[in-house]
Amino acid sequence: MLGILKNRNYAILFSGQLVSTIGNNLYTIALPWYVYSITGSKKALVLSGLSVFIPHIAGLFVGTFTDRWIKKDTMIWVDLLRGIITILLAVLAIKHVSFYYFIALVFLLQLVGSFFSPASSAMTPLLVEKEDLPSAFGLSQSGNAVAQLIGTVGGGALFGLIGAPLLFFSNGISFFLSVLSLCFIRIQETIHHENISNSFIQNWLNGIQMIYRSKSILRIIAAGLLANFGLAPLEITFTAWIKGPMHSNSFSFGLINAGFLTGLLIGGLLMPIIRKRINSINTLKYGLLFIGIWIALIGVFPNFYWALSVMTIVGIALALVNTSLDVLLVDIVPQHMRGRVFGAFNGLIVLSGPIGLSILGSLLSYISLSWMFVIIGALSLVGGLIYYIPIKNNIGEISSQTQSV
């Protein structure tokens, strides 16, 4: 897999994004701690959480912009603005200005950042050969896992050691480093004539039409929504499981989280090997079935080592699922529409999380934790079973139809 780093452009993209993702994960850990430390209010924590979550809804629309713009330029401008906004957050934290000004900047930071993911996902296939996509997406998945692991392990400690303002400032510097790295990428990119000649509304409607009429994409979205809906309450269920039947503490919870992230890291590295033996559809199918079965089995033994082993295995499977999703979408979606599809897919998946947390989380007061794990696992299983539905990929026909609209 690491051979993909011989690709100069991808290596530059990967290294720059690894630095900025580490910085952003440290910021994500520091934000709620900082908000609660200056307000002492749970309502303020909820408000800060909403300011992070609500901008993700923009993912349903921002992909249309990224299809109309040069991807590299979009990513540069996004990270430049994110760097400036994060530095301003550090200044506001030092000056102890009104909490509401701070939250407004957090909202703006997330809104600007929503443009980055669809642009990055759409640009990666332009940097590497098709046969190298599993390695590229797999290594990116592993890099994200490393960043999350560093954030999880080091975020709280660094917050106590250097404080929120310096963590915010460091995050801003990481974005500027990302901008610098992006400037060294050499890529020839042209914008499809449809994206230039049509209005924004027409381009957006064409993207929605393609998603709606493509059985392949609808199946991917349905399976992803079900699985993410089910997995949303897993963390709070685990918290109750650890404090209750396992009779353990937050340290055990942290180790289990670290095991899950390590699984994500391993899964991303294994992707090229798996890809040679199993295609993307079967990886998604078996991966979701595998995740569902193992999560359902968590409640069988209230034992730390069992929980750690299961969540490490789940992390490996989830990394393979996420990477296969990216590869599959690149395979079936025309290049000039990838921003729209990636953006809409990510937006819908993000939206399914809070809904699943609200609905399934309410069941914790009425059913045992063991059955809660079964329900969560069952939804992932159903997501995997969706891939047994035989369909024909009609994406080429739909693409030609949308271009003629």
In the structure, what pLDDT confidence band is assigned to residue 385 with cuts at 50, 70 and 90?
A: very high
Rounded distance between C-alpha atoms, residue 70 and residue 213, angstroms: 27
Q: Distance between CA atoms of 392 and 214, rounded to whole angstroms?
A: 9
For residue 404, is pLDDT > 50?
Answer: no
Model confidence, pTM: 0.87
CB neighbours of 399 closer than 8 A, spacing ≥ 6?
210, 334, 337
Go through the domains of the chain in sequence order and give each one's CATH number. 1-191 (1.20.1250.20), 205-405 (1.20.1250.20)
* Cβ atoms of residues 292 and 375 within 8 Å: no
Tell how many helices (H) and how many strands (E) occur in the chain. 18, 0
Contact 50, 178 (CB under 8 A): no
Paired tokens of 147? 């960043």
Q: What is the DSSP letter of 233?
A: T
The whole-angstrom separation of Cα 28 and Cα 110 is 11
pLDDT at 402 over 70: no
Cβ atoms of 150 and 18 within 8 Å: the answer is no
Query: How do residues 128-177 score in pLDDT, each as one tens digit?
Result: 988 889 999 999 999 989 888 887 777 667 767 777 888 889 899 999 99
At residue 2 the predicted structure's pLDDT band, cuts being 50, 70 and 90, is low
The pLDDT of residue 63 is 87
Q: Give yes or no for residue 399 having a pLDDT over 60.
A: no
The neighbour count for residue 321, using CB atoms within 10 Å, is 26
Q: For 29-68, what is each residue's pLDDT tens digit?
A: 888 888 888 888 878 888 888 888 888 888 788 988 889 9
* Residues 140/21, Cβ–Cβ less than 8 Å: no
Record the tokens describing residue 73, joined without a space: 């330029």
Confidence of residue 73 (pLDDT cuts 50, 70, 90): very high
pLDDT tens digits, one per residue of 362-381: 888 889 999 999 999 999 99
